[in-house]
Amino acid sequence: MTVRSIALAAASALALTAATPALADHHAASSEAEAPAGTAEIGPWGIDLEGRNLAVDPGDDFYEYAGGTWMANTEMPGDRSRYGSFDMLRERSEQQVRAILNDLAADPEAAGATGQMVGDFYGAWMDEEAIEARGTAPLAPYLARIDAIEDRAGLLEIFGTVGYDSPVGVGTLPDPADPTRYIAFASQAGLGMPSRDYYLDEGEDYVAFRAAYRDYIIRLHELAGIPDGAAKADRIIALETQMAEAHWEPARQRDIQQIYNPMNREQLAELAPQFDWSNWLDGMGFGIVDTVVAAETTAITAAGELLDSVSLDTWKEYLTFQFINDHAHFLPRAFDEAQFEFFGRTLRGTEEQRERWERGVALVNANIGEAIGQIYVDRHYSGEARRQMTELIVNLRAALRERLENSDWMDEETRAEAFAKLDAFDPRIGHPESWIDYSDLEVRRDDLLGNAIRAQQFAVDLDLERLPEPVDRSLWAMNPQTVNAYYSPLTNQITFPAAILQPPFFDPNADPAVNYGAIGAVIGHEIGHGFDDQGRRFDGTGRIRDWWSETTEQQFQERAARLGAQYSAVEVLPGLNLDGDLGMGENIGDLGGVEMAYAAYQRYVADHGEPPVLDGLTGDQRFFLSWAQVWRGLIRENRLREQALTGPHSPPEYRTNNVVPNIDAWYEAFDVGPDNAMYIPPEERVTIW
Ligand SMILES: [Zn+2]
């Protein structure tokens, strides 16, 4: 069964968790200067000084000033739609995982059962010859199940089966009303393209995307030897367009008040009787469940209506195409190339596929990630990193506490609640305390598609097993080898995997200003999610509860609205602006994160004395430069469009340039005044946390 997004989605990550590739090892800046030791990995003390564009005034375009020369001298790799510091660290993590895989392959006996499983998963992916030789045979049993559908009951059964698409996905998460237990949720799903705009927008780009989608559907039919591809493509697109018309906008999906609609089975039957909920839920293993959170209610109702109004044959055509589409990369090269042609080249503007091994690393990480994570942690995570991170988190919390104390717009009662929430924050660093046991998962060297389906089934079964139990707060939603971080409002946990504790985010040998400006602001970003427009609706236990007084809430809304307006004013492509509502949580996280980290850095300075000037840069300048260096990067136009439309993160440039001009200290650090392009008058700057 498909469980796509549910917006309250258990977690707000730092960045899109797109898997990524190639070869790292770049910046070896060599300046001598008055800097200390020179043991940092990037530059003499943690910043790539030569990557700056000194021809640009920092106050006119800080993003360009901080990374312009690097961006001008860096070519977008053909296999990328976005490329920057973040992606380079991801490449490094992939190389680290690749080394683990090679070691396991070289010495399977020493690797044990887990190593065997990892080696077979990866080996099945890498054996292209065997994949070609099998042709479309692996598809046959899965498509036969679709062919055998005779009525709506059969259709629903397939909708609830792992590996197949469905207009409504069902999954589990901690119950926002009682986060000590799990609840089931149902959410809109089923589109082949990224969001409803791709089906409905009349702009010429979208018209072209739709034409390319049609060609792609026809192509997959040809490759699979299924007749009448053109006529089927028209019917499939017509069906998905009807779904898209009822789908909620991404910004609306973020609103917990709109999507938290717990319903018992009777109410579900009223909402969308065609789903025959009792049988459907029982069949999917949710037999013990009485209540389901129906997220996008009207979209679910519309999906139910489509079950009746659209013919069974069209549904079967849709399911067949989507099954092949979802798994095309596990099939012979021609399928894989067709999938890349549409999703990579056309939708994102990427020129080439990533290398096979990189995609293999991503596949293994996604399916049995904790099996590798244990080895990764042994090799790449140190007690010193943990110690320094713990200290940073302590300072960030203290900084926010002080800012809450001094906040002039919170009344005392709300402030006390905010303190309670802050005190209850549960930070997690590096890796989970216990690991998933994959020993029941069958992995076969000669069955790539089957491995992928069984791994999905394994994950679903694990969720179903946990469903009747109390919420397990020790679980992680990211692997240790993932370069990212997240906040979960339902458990009030902030989580920092081992892999993000590397340059440019964190370097134990870097100047403290650099670490505060990068990983410090990341910590602040995650803490900030606890107090963003959605996170603030949850209390310290993860329960959804309104702990805000009316006047303080108004003050918050007023500030958030002004911040949203700043982002909505940004035109990223002709006629396409950012959506301040869609990005609200992430943008509050970024602004609050940098503000908190700056305050924490000031605490550090107060403890350790005024920092030295390094290479002509003050500590405050280095702090802001560090944040900008994290986000510097290149992005292709179509990827930019996708990110602006589907969010929630602002494109990298705006994570720098829309944040710093709201912070007074940035003006002082770089002597920015009314004549500078980025200048915002003090009364228009937004400070929330
Ligand atoms: Zn975030």
Q: Average pLDDT for residues 51-79, to the nearest whole number? A: 97
Q: Please tell me the distance between residue 593's alpha carbon and the centre of ligand 1 in angstroms.
A: 10
From 251-255, 328-332, 430-434, the region with the lowest mean pLDDT: 251-255
- The pLDDT-based confidence of 12 (bands split at 50, 70, 90) is low
- Ligand 1 centroid–CA 654 distance in Å is 14
Q: What is the pLDDT of residues 621-650, one digit of tens each?
A: 999 999 999 999 999 999 999 999 988 999
Task: Give the confidence band of 29 by pLDDT, cuts at 50, 70, 90.
Answer: very low
Q: Is the pLDDT of residue 659 over 60?
A: yes
Rounded to the nearest whole angstrom, what is the distance from the C-alpha of residue 535 to the centroid of ligand 1?
Answer: 11
Determine the distance separating the centroid of ligand 1 and the alpha carbon of 321, expressed in angstroms: 34
pLDDT value at residue 110: 74
Interval between CA 409 and ligand 1 midpoint (Å): 24
Rounded to the nearest whole angstrom, what is the distance from the C-alpha of residue 3 to the centroid of ligand 1? 21
Q: Which one, of 220, 236, 230, 445, lies nearest residue 331 by Cα? A: 220
Q: Where are the domains of the chain?
A: 137-330
Strand order in the sheet with 486-488: 12-13, 486-488, 493-497, 426-430
Nearest Cα neighbor of 12 from 557, 477, 541 is 477
Ligand 1 centroid to residue 527 C-alpha, Å: 9
Cβ contact 253:259 at 8 Å: yes
Question: 595 CA to middle of ligand 1, Å?
Answer: 15
What is the predicted pLDDT for the residue at 15?
Answer: 61
Is residue 107 very low, low, confident or very high in pLDDT (cuts 50, 70, 90)? confident
Distance of CA 534 from the midpoint of ligand 1 (Å) = 12
Q: Are strands 426-430 and 486-488 parallel, antiparallel or unpaired?
A: unpaired
50 beta partners:
none
- Proportion of the chain above pLDDT 90, given as a percent: 90
d(CA 51, CA 64) in angstroms, rounded, equals 10
pLDDT tens per residue across span 586-597: 999 999 999 999
pLDDT computed for residue 38 by the predictor? 56
Cα(103) to centroid(ligand 1), Å: 35
Q: Could you identify the residue written with the tokens 């089957």?
A: 450
Residue 652 alpha carbon to ligand 1 centre in Å: 13
Give Cα separations from 646 to 39, 200, 640 (angstroms): 40, 14, 10
Cα–Cα distance measured from residue 261 to residue 275, given in angstroms and rounded to the nearest whole number: 17
How many whole angstroms separate alpha carbon 87 and alpha carbon 150? Answer: 47
The pLDDT of residue 11 is: 53
Per residue in 531-540, pLDDT tens? Answer: 999 999 999 9
pLDDT at 628: 98
The DSSP secondary-structure symbol of 614 reads B
**Among 32, 69, 44, which Cα is nearest to 54's?**
69
**Residues 164-207: pLDDT tens digits?**
999 999 999 999 999 999 999 999 999 999 999 999 999 999 99
In the reported structure, the alpha carbon of residue 648 is separated from the centroid of ligand 1 by a whole-number distance in angstroms of 8
Query: What separation in Å is there between the alpha carbon of 86 and the centre of ligand 1?
Result: 14
- Alpha carbon distance 298, 296 (integer Å): 6
- Distance between Cα 136 and ligand 1 center (Å): 41
In the reported structure, the alpha carbon of residue 524 is separated from the centroid of ligand 1 by a whole-number distance in angstroms of 10
Distance 384 CA to ligand 1 centre (A): 26
The tokens describing 433, both together, are 């305390």
In this predicted structure, what is the pLDDT of residue 13? 62
Q: State how far the Cα of 216 lies from the Cα of 538, in Å rounded to an integer.
A: 43
Place of tokens 């237990």: 181
Interval between CA 529 and ligand 1 midpoint (Å) = 7
d(CA 205, CA 116): 47
Q: How far is the CA of 13 from the centre of ligand 1 (A)?
A: 4
**From the CA of 41, how far away is ligand 1's center (Å)?**
26
Q: Please state, rounded to an integer, the average pLDDT across all residues of the chain.
A: 92
The CATH homologous superfamily for domain 137-330 is Neutral endopeptidase , domain2 (1.10.1380.10)
Burial (0-12, 13-18, 19+ Cβ within 10 Å), 203: exposed
Cα(437) to centroid of ligand 1, in Å?
A: 29
Q: What is the structure's pLDDT at 23?
A: 24
Q: Is the pLDDT of residue 22 over 50?
A: no
Q: 44: CA distance to ligand 1 center in Å?
A: 30
The answer for residues whose C-beta is within 8 angstroms of residue 431's C-beta and 6 or more apart is 373, 374, 377, 381, 476, 480, 497, 498
CA of 589 to the centre of ligand 1 (A): 6
Angstrom distances, CA of residue 399 to CA of 392, 429, 592, 624, 630: 10, 19, 11, 17, 22
* Model confidence pLDDT, tens digit, residues 455-470: 999 999 999 999 999 9
C-alpha 586 – ligand 1 centre gap (Å): 5
Q: Is the pLDDT confidence value at 32 over 60?
A: no
**What per-residue confidence (pLDDT) applies to 647?**
83
Environment of ion ligand 1 (residues, CB < 5 A) = 12, 586, 589
What is the CB neighbour count within 10 angstroms for residue 257?
Answer: 10
Does residue 101 surpass a pLDDT of 70?
yes
More confident residue, 606 or 29: 606
Residue 318 pLDDT > 70: yes
Q: CA 208 to CA 214: how far, in whole Å?
A: 10
Confidence bin at 28 (pLDDT 50/70/90): very low
Is pLDDT above 80 for 520? yes
What pLDDT does 306 receive?
98
Average pLDDT for residues 19-40, to the nearest whole number?
A: 38
CA of 522 to the centre of ligand 1 (A): 9
Output the CA 47–ligand 1 centroid distance in Å.
Answer: 23
pLDDT of 344: 95
What the block records as the tokens of 24 is: 């790292």
| CA 227 / ligand 1 centre spacing (Å) | 45
Indicate the pairing of strand 291-294 with strand 178-188.
Answer: parallel
CA of 656 to the centre of ligand 1 (A): 14
From ligand 1's centre to the CA of 667, what distance in Å? 25
Cα dihedral 347, 348, 350, 352 sign? negative
Q: Is the pLDDT of residue 111 over 90?
A: no
Q: Is the pLDDT of residue 18 over 60?
A: no
Query: What is the mean predicted confidence (pLDDT) over 32-47?
Result: 70
